[in-house]
Every structure is written in C-alpha cells, then in structure tokens.
Amino acid sequence: MSNKIRVHILIIVWMAALVLPSCNSTRHLKEGEYLLKKNEINFTDTKYLENKGILTDNLDNAITQQPNSSFLFDGLKTKLFLYNLRYEKYQRDNTNFQIESKSVEAPVIYDSSTIPQSIQYMEAYLFHQGYFYAKISDTTIFNHKKKKATVRYNIDPGINYLIRRVYFKDIADPEINRIIQEDFYATFLRAGKAYSASLVEQERVRLTNILRDRGYYYFANSNISFQLDTVNAKDFMKLDESIISDAADLVTLKKEAPRPTLDIYINVDNSEDGKAFKRYGIHRILVFPDYIDRSDARDSTMIVKKIDNTTFRYHDYYVREKVVNNHIFIRPNGYFVQNDYDKTITELNQLGVFETVRGVYFEDTSRTGEGIDWLSCAIILGRARKYDFNLSWEGSTGTTYTLGSGATASFSNKNVAKGANLFTTSINAGIETQFDEATDDFFVLTKTAGINTSLEFPKFLFPISKERYSISNTPRTQIALGANLLDRVNFFTLVNLTSRFTYRWRETSTKNWEVSPFFINDINMLSVDPQFQQKLATNEYLEKTYRETFIEGENITWTFNNASKAKWYDDYSYMKFSLEEAGGVVAGLNKLSPNMTASFSQYVKLDYDLRHYIKQKHSTTALRFYGGVGLPYGQSERLPYLKQYFVGGPFSMRGWKIRTLGPGTYTDTNDIAGETRSTALIDRTGDIKLEMNAEYRFDIFRLFGGALQFNGAVFADAGNIWLSSPSVDYPGGEFRLNTLYDAFAVNGGAGIRIDIASLFILRVDWAVPLKVPGNLDLPDKNIKQGWILRDIDPLYDKWRRSIVWNIAIGYPF
C-alpha cells in the first residue's frame, strides 16, 4: 500500500470520527420540534461599530436560549451525543450524576418564546454602550430535513454618541467641589470619546475614591449620579432610573447626523443622614493578630502591647507587633485615607502569616472637637498555619526514550523568630533514562539531587536603612544556600555549592525588581569517567566547559507583568530582563593577593523573556520570544557548563529531547553512525539562545461543574543555541547571520491540559520536528535536514517513533 493511499484512509477515518457524534442528534425529537443548532449575531451596519468582537460575545451571552455546547467546532456536539446514547435512562433520571456534573447535555429544543426576552436584553446592553437607537430583528432558519433551527439576530446598532462636554451641577459643599475640580484632569469622560455606561461607572468610582482618600469615609458611589443631555433635546435621561426595559421609548430624540454628541451632567449629593459630606480622622487602631470572636475586645486575659496609638491584643504572642505595625499604613491623628487601608490589607496579606485580613472602622465618640469627627479602626487577623509542606513532580516521555521523573519536596516555616520571616528547605531528585535499541532495554542517563534552603525577611537588611525605602513596595531580603549533585552516568559527577544574597521589591503593581549584590557557585568535579576524560582531551570546547571553577558575581532582574490589570477580554504582556556579571570582583582581589583563587569564571550574560497573551472568549493565543547571550571574557574562553544554554524538553523546543539540539548547524556524524552511548550522549549546550513559541489554547469541555476542565492546545516552537565563537570541535556551531535561517529548528504539536480544581494543571504535549538544523550532504541518506514536512507519515513506524511526548505540571509559558 502506497503512502498516498494510507494518508487517504487516515483522513477518511479521522473525518468519520468527527462526523459520527453529530449523526442522529435529533432522532428523539417529537413532530414539530427542532434542535437549536446555533445563534447568529449579524450586524447590518458596522460603520461606527467599536470593539466588534467584544460586542458580539456580550450580545451572544445576552441570548436566553443557548444551543448545546460543542467540542472544537460547532458541529461536534459530543455531550449531546453521549446523552442520546442513553436517552431513555437520562429521561427517566434527570438527577443522574452525569447530568448534574454536566458531562452530558439534553437536546436544546428551539423555543420561539425566548426570542423577545433575548432581544430586550440585547437592546438594554447596546443602550448602555451608547447605542441609543439600536434596532434588532430576528429570523429563524429551519432545516426541516435535519430538524434543526438557527436563530439569526439582525442588529442595526445605529451610531453611538460621542461625549461633547461634562458639567458639574452645584455642589453644596465648597471643599468637596474644590477637591473634585482639582483632580478632574484625570477624568475618564473626555470630549470626543464614545459614550458607554462602563465609562460612566469608571468615572463614578474614580470620584468616590478621590473623596474617600481625603477623609470622607461615608461617601459612596451612590452619592454620585449622572444625567445625559443629547444637546438639542428638552428631556434628560437619568441613568439611575429603570431604562433597561424600554430603552427605545425613553429615548424620544430624533437621530441626527453621523456621530451625534451628548453632554453629561454630574450630580454630587449628600446622604440623607448628612454623613457623606463629613470628614473623618483616625483616633486609634486596635490590632487582633489571632482573632477568635467579638469577645476578644473585652477579654481581660489577653496579652496587650502598645506602639504609640496602636494597641495589639493577643491570645498567644506569636508574631512581634513591630513587624505588623511596619505594614500598617493607617496612622492615628490623620484623616481617613482609603488608599492607606487598601495598602494595609495588601501588605498584611503579603506577610504570609495571616489566613484572613480585614479591617473594621467604627465611630469613636471618646474624642471630640477639633472640627472633625473621629473613627477608630480594628484590624482583625486570622492566624495562618505556620508550617507548609509541598510536593511537585514533572516529567517527559517519548516512544524511544523516557525522560521521566523529577520530584521536589519543600518545607516552609512562615514565622521564624516571630518576625514573619520565611524559612524554606527543598529537596529535589530526578532521573533520566534512555532506551538502548541494541540491548532492547533502558539505561540510566542522568541522576540529579539537591538540597536548597533560604531565609526571607519582610524588609531590607543592611546596609539599606529603613528611611531609604517604603514598606508599600513590599521589600524582601533573601539569603539562600544550596548544594546540588549532577551525575551524568558514564560521563562525570559534579557538585555545585551555591549561595546568594538578594533584595526584591515592587516598583509598581506591574513592575518588580530583584538585585543580588553577590552570588556564588562553587563547581567541583567529583569524578570523571576515563572514557569521557579521553573525550575531553581531544575536544577543546568540552575541556573548557566541563571544569572545576569558582563563580562570584552580581545579578539584576526587572520584571513587568500586567496580567492582574487585564480585564476579561484584555490582552496582557510579560517581560523579564536579567543582567549578570561574574569574575570582576575576584579578578580584582587576585591582583591584590595573587593566586587567591586559581580557577574562576569571568562572563557577562543578558537573559530575556518576552510574552504576549491575546485573550478571546474561549481561547488564548500565547506568544513568547526568549533566550539570552553569554560572553566570556578575561581568563575565561567558554561559559561554565551550569551557566550555558540548552533547548528541548517540556518547557522549550518540545520536538526534541532535552539538551539534544544544536549548537547552530552542527551535525554529529559519529552520533548518526552509531557511536557508543558512553560518548554519544554529551549535552548540547551553547553561549547564545534564541527561541520563539506560539501556542493557541482553547476550551474543550468541563466536568463536575467546572472542577475538572479539559483544554487543548496546538503549538509551534522555533529556535536553537549557538556558540559565541568558532570551535573546531563543533563546525557550524557559532552564531552567524548568514547561516541563521539554516540553524533554526522548528517543531509543531498539540496537547491536552487538565485543570484540576484550579489547584494545578496537568499537561500532556506531543511534538514532532518540522525543520532540522543544517543543510549538509550527509553520508546516511536516512538522516534529514532542513524542512521535513514531506516525510510526515503517521502510518510509518519510524516516523511515529520520532514523536516526543512531554508530561509536566503547569503551562510551558
């Protein structure tokens, strides 16, 4: 059988697998009943339509009757198919576990009575987006033969209004009027912007926050209302009234020329009790670090400690009050400030020693006069578990190899010395195995083990004084020590002793810094296999890479991440840059005291990781460009092994086994020819790394009310590693622009991600090479280079064995 025939058979089988679930989906319907196939949103005029994709999704969500859910595409309704397989049983027992867990779905029978309500909801939504004159009609398309119905909603949104001017109605309190006018430069209601209810709501929240930050504790969103004037109309439309049900009747103005405008009037009113316009100060603060119930306020047996006007009441003195007080921004004898309260809650949560954090304000009549009213604040803290234990695992596996196990167990103490200091100890171990076709057996390739400890303080330690920073930037100081063993069986065994002193802080809610004034790696070769030692003697690059060395350096890292700021449909980005230098200080000390350190490394490294995520209703497109450049200098000719780059595996080029790709266009013909495993499986490493990844992630289905969610992905990876300078041992391995295209590897694949109760994600990916680096005439004609798309043949055993399976916890990026 030819390859072409096999491919045709495969396509037929695949199509049949997709089509069969949709067959007979209507066989249980009664006469005159139709299965709701889908709802369509059809805009008849898009000239002035803004954010069409978001608008379409929200209008679709407003439709009352939704069709059965689909898998991958509209025609494949797997849950309906499963329901019909046991139709009689599910009809008799509608409380069945499969129905309640939503793993199966009963057929959605078209119901015309739901359409008017859907149109009403859509009109209301469009009205709130500024489309005051939207017209919606419906058309139902029946397929009598297949007994299916499609409902098409034809929408003429009209023209949404632009904001012309914003006015404030008379504000009774002159001080409030001054505060609002002073900060109005930051308004969301700018002239020329398209009007929408969400924009008005943003402005309402902004004005409320301004006043609450100036001491007006009882001022709320309800004290602000808006009126719209469509300029040539006599009537005002008040947003707070019920305009949803009959938007078209309330708006009686004649539609004008393109992009009509409106004026917005803002009303700022006092509350009925008069408190909204009162300014409040903070008298005192009560802190309950291990709160149980309301009786704690009067329990005479509790431990009481004071710092100025802040009183701490403990059942058990388990955290020092000074540590907690440093993270409280609410200060007595000042005005109430909402932002100070918010920062306090955030920072106390960041300490990690409290399970719950909340604040309660109450009027304090024990202090009077001074022209203002007074509040006191009770900060109620629930004690968190002091010790934590975590276990994680990841792995990768393939048809002809198993890279398969790595486990990490960590223990943490969140409150060392009662100072909210975090002590963590982790132990990790891993093993990689390879399949030997000659002996038809697996053998151990690599063994790893390590122990790492760290102690993190919720502040900056010496030499940075407290006056030089703010607790609101979440400062942290970490001291870390570690010892890690790497045993490359039949190659070498090394131990890496590490230590690091690091400062971390948050510049803004999206920007973070990490600075290590010094770090140390002391790499010791415990043993070298004689056969590998012989290899080192004849390979200059390997000899300079795999050597004992001492590394002392500095590192600075900047990270940007605006994911927390993104709304449901907003794109978001992640950027990370890291600059590292090593050897400069040691070289200077060696000049003062010659031969103080005989073998040390000198290099400069720049690492980067750039990501962008494009959000859609049921999918996300994730893009990444990352890598780095390491340049040895001084007495170093190559980067040390542990600082070099590699690709492959579950988090990189997924079409290659880890550390088996590159450098550049280099091809190991001895490896192709079948060199013995003791010398052929040397790690592929380099000084430069470029990699690009694209992944389209989509929803598949949910079970048990969303506790178990299955998502899919298709992806492509492209990249490689290179040497910073030529090596006779790796011809073509150096970075050169004229061979950059030839050196790029490309793979593609697909995967399943199982989100288990939002606790962790189990990921299974499979990938195959699509382009192999190099463009050489090789002695073995079965070894392909360049694009190998024409060699893809799922029915060919050798091709199937090239599939790389990766199993891991979490997304690759």
The Cα angle at residue 455 between residues 453 and 459, in degrees rounded to 5? 155
Count of domains for the chain? 3
Percentage of the chain beyond pLDDT 90 is 55
Q: Residue 435 above 80 pLDDT?
A: no
Q: Residue 77 above 50 pLDDT?
A: yes
3-state secondary structure 24-50: CCCCCCCCCCCEEEEEEEEECCCCCCC
Q: 191 with 79: CB under 8 angstroms? A: no
Same domain, 193 and 288: no
Same domain, 271 and 283: no
Same domain, 247 and 314: no
- Give the Cα separation of 125 and 55 in Å (integer): 9
Same domain, 143 and 190: no
pLDDT at res. 400: 40
Write out pLDDT tens, residues 270-325: 998 999 999 999 999 999 999 999 899 889 999 999 998 899 999 999 999 999 99
Q: 499 with 529: CB under 8 angstroms? A: no
- Rama region for 207: left / alpha / beta (φ>0; ψ in -120 to 50; rest): alpha
Percentage of the chain beyond pLDDT 70 is 86
Q: Give the structural domain span for 359.
A: 279-383
pLDDT at res. 75: 65
Q: Is position 634 within any domain? A: no
Where residue 23 falls among pLDDT bands split at 50, 70, 90? low
Write out pLDDT tens, residues 120-141: 999 999 998 889 889 999 999 9
Q: Which has the closest alpha carbon to 189: 203, 207, 171?
A: 203
More confident residue, 140 or 73: 140
Q: Is position 802 within any domain? A: no
Average pLDDT over residues 66-92: 82
Q: Residue 534 above 50 pLDDT?
A: yes
Residue type, 604: V
Q: Reduce the DSSP state of residue 79 to 3 states and report it.
A: helix
Q: Residue 428 above 80 pLDDT?
A: yes
Which domain-ending residue is among 255, 276, 297? 276
CB atoms within 10 A of CB 495: 17
Rounded to the nearest 10°, the torsion over CA 728, 734, 740, 745 is 80
Q: 498 with 483: CB under 8 angstroms? A: yes
- Rama region for 198: left / alpha / beta (φ>0; ψ in -120 to 50; rest): alpha
Where residue 406 falls among pLDDT bands split at 50, 70, 90? confident
Same domain, 126 and 220: no
- Give the Cα separation of 632 and 730 in Å (integer): 18
Q: Residue 237 above 70 pLDDT?
A: no
Residue linked to tokens 């004008």: 256
Same domain, 211 and 289: no
Q: Is position 5 within any domain? A: no
Q: 330 with 307: CB under 8 angstroms? A: no
Same domain, 332 and 214: no
Q: 719 with 745: CB under 8 angstroms? A: yes
Q: Is position 472 within any domain? A: no
- Give the Cα separation of 362 and 373 in Å (integer): 11
Same domain, 152 and 196: no
Q: 260 with 230: CB under 8 angstroms? A: yes
Where residue 380 falls among pLDDT bands split at 50, 70, 90? very high
Same domain, 195 and 253: yes
| Mean pLDDT rounded to a whole number for the chain | 85
Same domain, 251 and 315: no
- Backbone φ and ψ of 211, nearest 5°: -70, -35
Q: Is position 630 within any domain? A: no
Contacts of 94 (CB under 8 A, 6+ apart): 106
Exposure of 144 in the CB half-sphere (CA atoms within 13 A): 1
- Give the Cα separation of 563 and 560 in Å (integer): 9
Which domain-ending residue is among 245, 276, 307? 276
Q: Residue 347 above 80 pLDDT?
A: yes
Q: Is position 482 within any domain? A: no
Give the H/E segment covering residue 701: strand 688-703
Same domain, 59 and 142: yes
Helices within 258-337 (DSSP H only):
321-326
CATH at residue 47? 3.10.20.310
pLDDT at res. 813: 92
- Backbone φ and ψ of 391, nearest 5°: -135, 130
**How does 658-668 read in b/e, with b if 16+ C-beta sit within 10 Å?**
bbbbbbbbbbe
Write out pLDDT tens, residues 721-773: 999 999 988 999 999 998 899 999 999 999 999 998 878 888 999 999 999 99
Helices within 265-337 (DSSP H only):
321-326
Which domain-ending residue is among 383, 406, 433? 383
Give the H/E segment covering residue 373: strand 373-383
- Give the Cα separation of 195 and 264 in Å (integer): 10
pLDDT at res. 74: 63
Pair type for strands 148-156 and 162-168? unpaired
pLDDT at res. 797: 65
pLDDT at res. 254: 39
